[in-house]
Amino acid sequence: MSERDVTSDLKSALSVCKGAFIAAAGFSMVINLLMLTPTIYMMQLYDRVLSSRSESTLLMLTIIVLVIYITQGALEWVRSQILVRVSARLEILLNKRLYKVAYKQSLYSAGQRASSQPLDDLTSLRQFLTGNGLFAFFDAPWMPFYVAIMFLFHPLYGWLAVFSIILLIILAIINEKITSKLLADANTLSISGRGLNQWACLITCSSGGKKVAKKY
């Protein structure tokens, strides 16, 4: 199986999960809108409660905010469950193909290119889909929206947010430059130290390939 075939399999698997990604993006939109709740709550306190000293208004506003917080927590849980199911489905769709690729690569090279890297990459993909990285990917497009709101409150707040964003981007680039080579070397050593399929020839000769694949 060529690398192009594996790439097309990955694209096909991702297209199967396209609807789930769109649903997760929709939940992210609602969650990010609900993130404005504390700001609106404090504005209403200063505008309505402190001026009228109405305890009933304070109680109703607080109850509404609590309901919104519970709703937000439920939406975040549903979004995480969607991505967990997506990661599991991707693993089911791809693990058999990747196992065959790693197995044949080791077999045809007489163990010279034995590596579990394809399977490890699949594990990394699953961990990424269920981690904070993908959540940040869904939330990042809303950053200009929040910056625009800060500009509405006061231009100084907006420019402070822009400066902070630029500073974070610069720090991320510096961190990438410093650690990229070290991480690449560590990954190379890790790959060479592993060897899931280093006994591929022996397994094949003993007609145990299918049993091992099924057990995996």
> Are 117 and 86 within 8 A, CB to CB?
no
Q: What is the DSSP string of 117-143?
A: HHHHHHHHHHHHHTSHHHHHHHHGGGH
Residue 49 DSSP symbol: I
pLDDT, tens digit only, all 216 positions of the chain: 455 555 577 777 778 788 888 898 899 999 999 999 998 898 888 888 888 888 888 899 999 999 999 999 999 999 988 888 888 888 777 777 776 766 666 665 555 555 566 667 777 777 777 777 778 888 888 889 999 999 998 899 999 999 999 999 999 899 888 887 777 776 666 655 555 444 444 454 445 455 544 554
Question: Which of 205, 196, 3 shows the shortest CA–CA distance to 103?
Answer: 196
